[in-house]
Amino acid sequence: MLLLIAALSEEVSGILRAADFESVPSPDGIIAYRSKSDQGTRTLDTGIVLTGTGRDRATSATRWAFDEFTPSAMMSIGFGGGTLDTLQPGDLVLGTRLFRLDGSPFYWDSDQLGDPLIPDRTLLGAARNAVEVAGIDFELGPIINLPSIAKTAGMKRWIGQELHGACVDMESFVVCEVAADEGVPFMALRAIIDPVETDLPDLVGQIGQEPSGGRVVPAMKHLARNPFEIATLVRLGRAAARARRSLTGLYLELAGEAGATHGLPLPEYATEGAS
């Protein structure tokens, strides 16, 4: 089984609509799905677990997911912030190395990055093949895990220039760390929602951590206080839609020939008699 770990439902809603999944009972604060078997079709056996935002939630939910699904491969997926000028909304970053930063940004430097987690080459190759076949723009590079959202263009640009990261997120390192501890092949990828030149509104840091999202009410309250930011929120909404389409396109290719070519774990009912 391939296990996909994401933080929020909006990151995988396109995948859930495009493929056939069913809900899996899970503890409070975690949402889980599993692909339905369809006899005679080449379907990638997949589990999806939504952890909510933040490192602590991501770590505990991922540990539960490994006990529940016992995957043979794992991908950390979701949205991220771009740190390179070449990346635009909807582009994918395939992580070649995963780093973690802790503490205050005032003390960040390259010495704090520590040893990276190195993704599995087979998974990375499958993902690269999938995005090339799907025609999705992508970048190979390091993903840097932060303790909080990088809301300013200055911070993202500094990370790209000084730490050589391709994008930033909040969960990928700790999710993949669990996979490494379990001895399961892993990789991380992020779909860009805010490019390097974008300053994010304060609303982004005020939204709850639950995996179901629940962004509409906070957004309406924020707009009531800050009506001049409506254009920014509309642009973010469009960028999120592009990022979601890219993640969906990647998965659909992985579930087909791109995944089969690279030996991803197709279930028995799909591999028997397959050409």
Query: Helical H runs in 86-138?
Result: 121-134
Spatial separation of the C-alpha atoms in residues 268 and 173, rounded to whole Å: 31
What pLDDT sits at residue 141? Answer: 97
pLDDT of residue 203: 59
CATH topology of domain 2-271: Rossmann fold (3.40.50)
* Per-residue confidence (pLDDT) for residue 274, from 0 to 100: 33
* DSSP letter assigned to residue 199: P
**Average pLDDT by stretches of 10, the chain with 275 residues:** 94 92 95 78 81 94 97 96 96 97 87 92 92 95 93 93 94 97 97 92 65 58 57 80 96 76 50 33
CA atoms of 144 and 134, how far apart (whole Å): 26
In tens, the pLDDT along 32-50 reads 999 987 544 456 889 999 9
The predicted pLDDT at position 258 comes to 52
- The confidence score (pLDDT) of residue 20 equals 87
- Which pLDDT score is estimated for 228? 61
What predicted TM-score, i.e. pTM, was given to this entire model? Answer: 0.88
Cα Dmax for the chain? 61
String of DSSP letters for 57-90 = HHHHHHHHHHHHH--SEEEE--EEEE-STT--TT
CA 251 vs CA 86, 171, 248: distances in Å: 23, 19, 5
Q: What percent of the chain has pLDDT over 90?
A: 65
What's the pLDDT at 64? 98
